[in-house]
C-alpha cells in the first residue's frame, strides 16, 4: 500500500494547466536572515498583497540531494518542493508547516514561501530557555507531533529528520508545527539505503546495517524527541550508546512516560510501536483541559 502511494506520487500524470505567475520580487519582500545550514538559508518575509508574515527558504541548486518532477513543470524541482506541494494539494494539516508558493529564480536557486507562526520559536530554543519541560506540556506537544506524522505517512511522505530544531512552537497558543522537509522522501515499505537526517539521531539499524524502514525510523526519532523534552537533552551522543539503546533518565520522569520512551527506543525495529500504538499508550491519555491549565501556569509569563 505504501509503495502504491509512493508510486502515485512519483508517476502522477494528471494534466494540470500551467499558469504564469508573477515574479517573486513583485509578490514578496525578503527580510532578515532567520537561520542557515547545509540545506540553505531561511529569511523572514512579507507578502505584499496583504502584509502576511512568511518564512522564505532559499535552496541553492548545487545543494539539492534529491530531485523530483511535478506535472506541468519543464525541469526537475527539489524533492522538498514536491513533497510540500503534495501535502498542500490534499489540504494540509495544522501540525505541519504549509508551503504557500515556490519560485525558481535565476542566480538564487529555489525560493520556498512558507507560513510563519506569529510567535514561533523552535523547540530546541524553547527547551534551552526553559530546561526540561513538564510532562503535561510535553504531552500536548508530543500528541500534535504524532498526529502530524500520521498525516504525512497517510499521504505518502516520510520526514526523516524529526528533532527539536524541526518543530516550531507558537508560544501564545502552544500549538506546534513540523518544519523542514529537506531530508524528506516518498514513503515506501522497502528499506532506505541512504540516511538524510541528523548524525547522532540515526537509529541502531542504520549504524549496524546501513538500512532502515520509514515507520521504525520515525518512531525511534520520536523516542529521542520525547526524552529530549522531559529530560532537557537527547539520550545518546555516540554510536555505541545508540546501539546499546538503553536511555538513562537524568530527571524524575513518570513510569508511564519512561515506558513509552523505552518502547520507541527498542533496539529491534519490529519491536517499536506504530504511530497508532503510541497514541493508544496509557501516558497519552491525559485530559486536554487539565493539560492546558497546567501548561500555561508552568511557563514563565515573560517567556510568552
Catalytic positions are: 161
Is 34 annotated in some ligand binding site? yes
Task: From 66, 67, 47, 69, select the one nearest 56 (Cα to Cα).
Answer: 47
For cell 526519532, the residue is 221
Is 165 annotated in some ligand binding site? no
Is 2 annotated in some ligand binding site? no
DSSP conformation letters of 138-153: HHHHHHHHHHHHHHHH
Cell numbers placing 249: 533518565
Is 38 annotated in some ligand binding site? yes
Q: Tell me how far apart the alpha carbons of residues 144 and 244 are, in angstroms, rounded to a whole number.
A: 29
Is 286 annotated in some ligand binding site? no
Is 193 annotated in some ligand binding site? no
Is 188 annotated in some ligand binding site? no
Burial of 158 (0-12, 13-18, 19+ CB in 10 A): buried
Contact 42, 56 (CB under 8 A): yes
Is 75 annotated in some ligand binding site? no
Is 42 annotated in some ligand binding site? yes
Q: Tell me how far apart the alpha carbons of residues 42 and 33 are, in angstroms, rounded to a whole number.
A: 6
Summarize the annotated binding site as residue ranges: 34-42, 57, 115, 122
Summarize the annotated binding site for ATP as residue ranges: 34-42, 57, 115, 122
Amino acid at each position: 500500500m505504501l509503495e502504491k502511494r509512493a508510486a502515485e506520487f512519483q508517476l502522477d500524470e494528471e494534466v494540470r494547466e500551467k499558469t504564469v505567475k508573477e515574479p517573486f520580487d513583485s509578490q514578496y519582500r525578503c527580510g532578515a536572515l532567520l537561520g542557515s545550514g547545509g540545506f540553505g538559508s531561511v529569511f523572514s518575509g512579507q507578502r505584499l498583497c496583504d502584509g502576511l508574515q512568511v518564512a522564505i527558504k532559499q535552496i541553492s541548486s548545487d545543494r539539492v540531494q534529491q530531485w523530483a518532477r511535478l506535472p506541468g513543470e519543464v525541469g526537475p524541482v527539489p524533492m522538498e518542493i514536491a513533497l510540500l506541494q503534495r501535502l498542500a494539494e490534499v489540504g494540509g494539516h495544522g501540525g505541519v508547516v504549509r508551503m504557500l508558493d515556490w519560485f525558481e529564480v535565476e542566480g538564487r536557486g529555489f525560493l520556498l514561501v512558507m507560513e510563519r507562526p506569529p510567535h514561533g520559536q523552535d523547540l530546541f530554543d524553547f527547551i534551552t530557555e526553559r530546561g526540561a519541560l513538564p510532562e503535561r506540556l510535553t504531552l500536548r506537544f508530543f500528541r500534535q507531533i504524532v498526529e502530524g506524522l500520521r498525516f504525512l505517512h497517510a499521504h505518502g511522505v516520510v520526514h526523516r529528520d524529526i528533532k527539536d530544531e524541526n518543530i516550531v512552537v507558537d508560544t501564545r497558543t502552544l500549538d506546534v508545527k513540523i518544519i523542514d522537509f529537506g531530508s524528506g522522501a516518498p514513503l515506501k515499505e522497502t528499506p532506505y539505503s541512504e540516511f538524510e537526517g541528523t548524525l547522532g539521531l540515526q537509529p541502531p539499524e542504520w549504524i549496524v546495517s546501513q538500512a532502515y524502514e520509514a515507520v521504525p525510523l520515525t518512531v525511534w526519532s520520536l523516542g529521542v524527541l520525547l526524552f529530549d523534552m522531559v529530560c532537557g537533552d537527547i539520550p545518546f551522543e555516540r554510536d555505541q550508546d545508540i546501539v546499546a539503546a538503553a536511555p538513562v533518565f537524568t530527571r524524575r520522569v513518570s513510569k508511564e512516560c519512561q515506558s513509552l520512551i523505552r518502547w520507541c527506543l527498542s533496539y529491534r525495529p519490529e519491536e517499536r510501536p506504530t504511530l497508532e500504538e503510541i497514541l493508544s499508550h496509557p501516558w497519552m491519555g491525559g485530559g486536554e483541559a487539565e493539560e492546558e491549565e497546567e501548561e500555561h501556569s508552568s511557563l514563565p509569563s515573560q517567556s510568552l
